[in-house]
Structure 1
Amino acid sequence: MTTTMTHSEKQSGTGGSPEQTYQSTFVPRFDIWEGDDELLLFGDLPGVDVDDLDIRFENRELTIHGNVSPRHEGEMLYGEYGIGDFHRTFAIGDAIDAEKISAEMHSGVLKLHLPKSEKVKPRRIEVKAS
Protein backbone atom coordinates (compact mmCIF):
# COMPACT_ATOMS: atom_id res chain seq x y z
CA MET A 1 0.00 0.00 0.00
CA THR A 2 1.40 3.38 -0.95
CA THR A 3 0.29 6.89 -0.16
CA THR A 4 -0.70 9.01 -3.14
CA MET A 5 -0.06 12.74 -3.02
CA THR A 6 -3.09 14.90 -3.55
CA HIS A 7 -3.11 17.95 -5.82
CA SER A 8 -2.82 20.22 -2.76
CA GLU A 9 0.16 18.23 -1.44
CA LYS A 10 1.96 18.60 -4.76
CA GLN A 11 1.33 22.35 -4.79
CA SER A 12 2.43 22.86 -1.19
CA GLY A 13 5.45 20.55 -1.36
CA THR A 14 4.31 18.44 1.58
CA GLY A 15 3.95 14.68 1.42
CA GLY A 16 1.59 13.36 4.05
CA SER A 17 2.72 15.52 6.95
CA PRO A 18 0.15 16.61 9.53
CA GLU A 19 1.04 20.24 8.87
CA GLN A 20 -1.36 22.53 7.09
CA THR A 21 -1.11 21.98 3.33
CA TYR A 22 -3.11 24.96 2.09
CA GLN A 23 -5.81 27.17 3.53
CA SER A 24 -7.55 24.99 6.09
CA THR A 25 -7.13 21.41 4.88
CA PHE A 26 -4.90 19.01 6.81
CA VAL A 27 -3.34 15.66 5.87
CA PRO A 28 -4.02 13.31 8.80
CA ARG A 29 -1.49 10.72 9.88
CA PHE A 30 -2.44 7.04 9.79
CA ASP A 31 -1.06 3.94 11.47
CA ILE A 32 -1.29 0.81 9.33
CA TRP A 33 -1.35 -2.70 10.78
CA GLU A 34 -1.21 -5.92 8.77
CA GLY A 35 -2.82 -9.16 9.90
CA ASP A 36 -3.33 -12.45 8.10
CA ASP A 37 -6.82 -11.45 6.91
CA GLU A 38 -6.80 -7.66 6.60
CA LEU A 39 -5.01 -4.33 6.81
CA LEU A 40 -6.18 -1.96 9.54
CA LEU A 41 -5.75 1.78 9.18
CA PHE A 42 -6.11 4.05 12.21
CA GLY A 43 -6.30 7.80 11.61
CA ASP A 44 -6.82 10.74 13.97
CA LEU A 45 -9.57 13.06 12.75
CA PRO A 46 -10.24 15.41 15.67
CA GLY A 47 -13.43 17.41 15.37
CA VAL A 48 -14.90 15.32 12.53
CA ASP A 49 -18.41 13.96 13.11
CA VAL A 50 -19.41 10.71 11.41
CA ASP A 51 -22.00 12.65 9.39
CA ASP A 52 -19.22 14.93 8.07
CA LEU A 53 -16.95 12.07 6.98
CA ASP A 54 -16.81 10.99 3.33
CA ILE A 55 -14.88 7.85 2.40
CA ARG A 56 -14.80 6.74 -1.23
CA PHE A 57 -13.13 3.97 -3.20
CA GLU A 58 -12.70 4.58 -6.91
CA ASN A 59 -10.08 3.53 -9.48
CA ARG A 60 -8.07 1.68 -6.80
CA GLU A 61 -7.87 4.85 -4.64
CA LEU A 62 -9.28 5.15 -1.14
CA THR A 63 -10.08 8.79 -0.35
CA ILE A 64 -10.92 10.06 3.12
CA HIS A 65 -12.37 13.54 3.54
CA GLY A 66 -13.61 14.97 6.82
CA ASN A 67 -15.25 18.36 7.35
CA VAL A 68 -14.67 20.18 10.62
CA SER A 69 -17.07 22.81 11.91
CA PRO A 70 -15.70 25.89 13.70
CA ARG A 71 -15.45 25.35 17.46
CA HIS A 72 -16.52 28.83 18.54
CA GLU A 73 -18.67 31.67 17.27
CA GLY A 74 -17.24 35.17 17.04
CA GLU A 75 -13.71 36.49 16.86
CA MET A 76 -10.89 34.45 18.40
CA LEU A 77 -8.51 36.38 20.62
CA TYR A 78 -5.59 33.98 20.21
CA GLY A 79 -5.28 30.51 18.67
CA GLU A 80 -2.49 27.95 18.44
CA TYR A 81 -4.53 24.96 17.30
CA GLY A 82 -5.36 24.91 13.61
CA ILE A 83 -8.94 24.14 12.61
CA GLY A 84 -9.68 22.71 9.23
CA ASP A 85 -10.89 19.86 7.11
CA PHE A 86 -8.95 16.61 6.58
CA HIS A 87 -8.10 14.93 3.28
CA ARG A 88 -6.01 11.84 2.54
CA THR A 89 -5.78 9.44 -0.41
CA PHE A 90 -4.26 5.95 -0.47
CA ALA A 91 -3.50 3.84 -3.54
CA ILE A 92 -4.92 0.36 -2.95
CA GLY A 93 -3.53 -2.68 -4.76
CA ASP A 94 -5.32 -5.77 -6.03
CA ALA A 95 -4.50 -7.62 -2.80
CA ILE A 96 -7.45 -5.84 -1.09
CA ASP A 97 -11.04 -7.00 -1.55
CA ALA A 98 -12.57 -3.59 -2.30
CA GLU A 99 -16.16 -4.83 -1.90
CA LYS A 100 -15.56 -5.60 1.78
CA ILE A 101 -13.85 -2.37 2.92
CA SER A 102 -15.54 -1.01 6.07
CA ALA A 103 -15.03 1.86 8.49
CA GLU A 104 -15.89 2.89 12.02
CA MET A 105 -15.25 5.99 14.10
CA HIS A 106 -14.65 6.13 17.87
CA SER A 107 -13.62 9.25 19.81
CA GLY A 108 -12.14 11.00 16.79
CA VAL A 109 -10.20 7.95 15.58
CA LEU A 110 -11.16 6.47 12.22
CA LYS A 111 -10.61 2.71 11.88
CA LEU A 112 -10.66 1.30 8.34
CA HIS A 113 -10.82 -2.44 7.65
CA LEU A 114 -9.27 -3.44 4.33
CA PRO A 115 -9.80 -7.20 3.97
CA LYS A 116 -7.28 -9.12 1.88
CA SER A 117 -8.59 -10.98 -1.13
CA GLU A 118 -8.60 -14.76 -0.82
CA LYS A 119 -5.80 -15.17 -3.38
CA VAL A 120 -3.23 -13.36 -1.18
CA LYS A 121 -4.19 -14.71 2.25
CA PRO A 122 -1.71 -17.18 3.70
CA ARG A 123 -2.96 -20.74 3.63
CA ARG A 124 -1.74 -23.99 5.08
CA ILE A 125 -0.68 -26.67 2.62
CA GLU A 126 -1.61 -30.20 3.65
CA VAL A 127 1.21 -32.72 3.32
CA LYS A 128 0.15 -36.27 2.48
CA ALA A 129 2.21 -39.30 3.38
CA SER A 130 2.93 -41.71 0.57
Structure 2
Amino acid sequence: MSTDITQATEKTVTDAPETTGGGRIYRPLTDIIETDQGVSMMLEMPGVGPDHVDITLENRVLTIRGRVEPMQPENLQLSYAEYGEGDFERAFMLSEDFDPDRIEAEMHGGVLTVTLPRAAESQPKRIAVKGA
Protein backbone atom coordinates (compact mmCIF):
# COMPACT_ATOMS: atom_id res chain seq x y z
CA MET A 1 0.00 0.00 0.00
CA SER A 2 1.42 3.41 -0.88
CA THR A 3 0.61 6.73 0.72
CA ASP A 4 -1.48 8.94 -1.56
CA ILE A 5 -0.87 12.09 0.47
CA THR A 6 2.22 14.25 0.38
CA GLN A 7 3.01 17.29 2.43
CA ALA A 8 2.35 20.35 0.30
CA THR A 9 3.86 22.93 2.60
CA GLU A 10 6.03 22.84 5.66
CA LYS A 11 5.37 25.39 8.37
CA THR A 12 7.21 25.71 11.64
CA VAL A 13 7.23 28.57 14.07
CA THR A 14 10.49 29.87 12.56
CA ASP A 15 9.50 29.91 8.89
CA ALA A 16 5.76 30.54 9.23
CA PRO A 17 4.15 33.34 7.23
CA GLU A 18 3.27 36.63 8.83
CA THR A 19 -0.21 36.88 10.21
CA THR A 20 -2.55 39.84 10.49
CA GLY A 21 -2.76 39.27 14.24
CA GLY A 22 1.00 39.07 14.63
CA GLY A 23 0.81 35.64 16.29
CA ARG A 24 2.70 32.45 15.68
CA ILE A 25 1.62 29.70 13.29
CA TYR A 26 2.49 26.12 14.21
CA ARG A 27 2.55 23.02 12.04
CA PRO A 28 0.38 20.47 13.88
CA LEU A 29 1.83 17.01 14.45
CA THR A 30 -0.04 14.56 12.22
CA ASP A 31 -0.52 10.79 12.19
CA ILE A 32 -1.77 9.24 8.93
CA ILE A 33 -3.43 5.82 8.77
CA GLU A 34 -4.05 4.26 5.35
CA THR A 35 -6.48 1.44 4.53
CA ASP A 36 -8.04 0.10 1.33
CA GLN A 37 -11.10 2.29 2.05
CA GLY A 38 -9.15 5.54 2.44
CA VAL A 39 -6.97 7.57 4.77
CA SER A 40 -7.50 8.99 8.26
CA MET A 41 -5.39 11.89 9.46
CA MET A 42 -5.15 12.86 13.14
CA LEU A 43 -3.78 16.36 13.77
CA GLU A 44 -2.89 17.65 17.25
CA MET A 45 -4.28 21.16 17.69
CA PRO A 46 -4.53 21.94 21.44
CA GLY A 47 -6.71 24.89 22.30
CA VAL A 48 -8.62 24.81 18.99
CA GLY A 49 -12.38 24.28 19.14
CA PRO A 50 -14.47 22.77 16.34
CA ASP A 51 -15.83 26.24 15.47
CA HIS A 52 -12.29 27.53 14.86
CA VAL A 53 -11.19 24.91 12.30
CA ASP A 54 -11.14 25.74 8.60
CA ILE A 55 -10.56 22.95 6.05
CA THR A 56 -10.38 23.69 2.33
CA LEU A 57 -9.67 21.55 -0.72
CA GLU A 58 -8.50 23.41 -3.81
CA ASN A 59 -6.56 22.00 -6.78
CA ARG A 60 -5.97 18.75 -4.80
CA VAL A 61 -4.37 20.70 -1.91
CA LEU A 62 -6.06 20.01 1.44
CA THR A 63 -5.36 22.94 3.78
CA ILE A 64 -6.19 22.70 7.47
CA ARG A 65 -6.16 25.77 9.71
CA GLY A 66 -7.00 26.07 13.39
CA ARG A 67 -7.37 29.31 15.32
CA VAL A 68 -6.57 29.43 19.04
CA GLU A 69 -8.39 31.86 21.31
CA PRO A 70 -5.69 33.42 23.55
CA MET A 71 -6.09 32.52 27.21
CA GLN A 72 -5.16 35.40 29.52
CA PRO A 73 -6.32 34.87 33.12
CA GLU A 74 -8.00 37.96 34.52
CA ASN A 75 -6.01 40.01 37.06
CA LEU A 76 -2.92 37.81 36.64
CA GLN A 77 0.39 38.65 35.02
CA LEU A 78 2.45 35.94 33.33
CA SER A 79 5.90 35.64 34.87
CA TYR A 80 7.13 32.54 33.00
CA ALA A 81 5.79 30.56 30.03
CA GLU A 82 6.82 27.27 28.41
CA TYR A 83 3.72 26.95 26.25
CA GLY A 84 3.56 29.23 23.24
CA GLU A 85 0.12 30.06 21.95
CA GLY A 86 -0.48 30.32 18.25
CA ASP A 87 -2.62 29.18 15.37
CA PHE A 88 -2.11 25.98 13.39
CA GLU A 89 -1.79 25.41 9.65
CA ARG A 90 -0.81 22.45 7.50
CA ALA A 91 -1.37 21.56 3.85
CA PHE A 92 -1.26 18.22 2.01
CA MET A 93 -1.28 17.37 -1.69
CA LEU A 94 -3.86 14.63 -2.38
CA SER A 95 -3.82 12.15 -5.21
CA GLU A 96 -6.91 11.86 -7.41
CA ASP A 97 -7.90 8.63 -5.60
CA PHE A 98 -10.05 10.41 -3.00
CA ASP A 99 -13.72 11.39 -3.16
CA PRO A 100 -13.83 15.10 -2.24
CA ASP A 101 -17.60 15.00 -1.59
CA ARG A 102 -17.24 12.42 1.20
CA ILE A 103 -14.40 14.00 3.24
CA GLU A 104 -15.38 14.29 6.91
CA ALA A 105 -13.77 15.89 9.96
CA GLU A 106 -14.39 15.88 13.69
CA MET A 107 -12.61 17.37 16.69
CA HIS A 108 -12.26 15.71 20.11
CA GLY A 109 -9.93 16.73 22.93
CA GLY A 110 -7.62 18.86 20.79
CA VAL A 111 -7.25 16.21 18.08
CA LEU A 112 -8.77 16.79 14.64
CA THR A 113 -9.55 13.61 12.69
CA VAL A 114 -10.00 14.04 8.93
CA THR A 115 -11.34 11.03 7.00
CA LEU A 116 -10.59 10.87 3.27
CA PRO A 117 -12.55 8.03 1.62
CA ARG A 118 -11.23 6.62 -1.64
CA ALA A 119 -13.32 7.16 -4.76
CA ALA A 120 -15.27 4.08 -5.81
CA GLU A 121 -13.27 3.73 -9.03
CA SER A 122 -9.98 3.67 -7.12
CA GLN A 123 -11.03 0.98 -4.62
CA PRO A 124 -9.06 -2.24 -4.95
CA LYS A 125 -10.95 -4.91 -6.88
CA ARG A 126 -10.89 -8.59 -5.92
CA ILE A 127 -11.02 -11.01 -8.82
CA ALA A 128 -12.41 -14.46 -8.11
CA VAL A 129 -10.49 -17.40 -9.51
CA LYS A 130 -12.63 -20.33 -10.71
CA GLY A 131 -11.45 -23.89 -10.64
CA ALA A 132 -11.68 -26.20 -13.62
TM-score w.r.t. the length of structure 2 is: 0.82
Pairs within 5 Å for 1:53-64: 53-64=53-64
**CA separation in 1, counterparts of 2:100 and 2:38?**
11
**CA separation in 2, counterparts of 1:119 and 1:109?**
30
**CA separation in 2, counterparts of 1:98 and 1:30?**
20
Correspondence for 1:44: 44
Alignment partner for residue 78 of structure 2, among 64, 76, 90?
76
> How many pairs align?
120
Correspondence for 1:97: 99
**CA separation in 2, counterparts of 1:35 and 1:56?**
23
By how many angstroms is 1:113 displaced?
A: 0.4
User: Does the CA-based 8 Å contact 2:11-2:25 persist in structure 1?
Assistant: no
**CA separation in 1, counterparts of 2:129 and 2:24?**
58
By how many angstroms is 1:98 displaced?
A: 1.0
Q: Which amino acid letter does the alignment assign opposite residue 47 of structure 1?
A: G
User: Does the CA-based 8 Å contact 1:21-1:27 persist in structure 2?
Assistant: no
Q: Which amino acid letter does the alignment assign opposite residue 3 of structure 1?
A: Q
Provide closer, same or farther for how the CA distance between residues 85 and 20 of structure 1 changes in structure 2, counting only shifts above 3 A: farther
SS of the aligned residue for 2:121 comes to helix
SS of the aligned residue for 2:62 comes to strand
User: Does the CA-based 8 Å contact 1:96-1:115 persist in structure 2?
Assistant: yes
**CA separation in 2, counterparts of 1:47 and 1:75?**
20
By how many angstroms is 1:20 displaced?
A: 5.0
Q: Which amino acid letter does the alignment assign opposite residue 2 of structure 1?
A: T
Give 4+ residue runs of structure 1 displaced > 4 Å after superposition. none
By how many angstroms is 1:21 displaced?
A: 3.8
Which one scores higher on RCO, CA 8 angstroms, separation ≥ 6? 2
Deviations 1:65-116 (A, max 9, x none): 1100111146421111110000011111101111111101111100000001
